Amino acid sequence: MEIIRSNFKSNLHKVYQAIEEADFFAIDGEFSGISDGPSVSALTNGFDTPEERYQKLKKRSVSLC
């Protein structure tokens, strides 16, 4: 099952049901789309704190929505 922005609400009940029935589950959080723009190394640097890196990558991924 692929849950994307356009089908999120209509499939949310399926997600809840799958979680209830699962022995374990994983969420693919690879930030799809970031690679379509500047590279991660161009967006961040080695001196960024984890919070700064997260905020920079979040800003890029949110712009894709």
| pLDDT of res. 39 | 66
Q: What is the pLDDT of residue 21?
A: 96
**Domain regions of the chain by residue span:** 38-65
| pLDDT tens per residue, range 3-62 | 788 899 999 999 899 899 999 988 777 655 555 566 666 777 889 898 988 888 887 777
Task: 50-59: list long-range contacts, CB under 8 Å, 24+ apart.
Answer: 57/31
The residue that leads in pLDDT, 11 or 2, is: 11
pTM of the entire predicted model? 0.39
What pLDDT, on the 0 to 100 scale, is given for residue 65?
A: 57
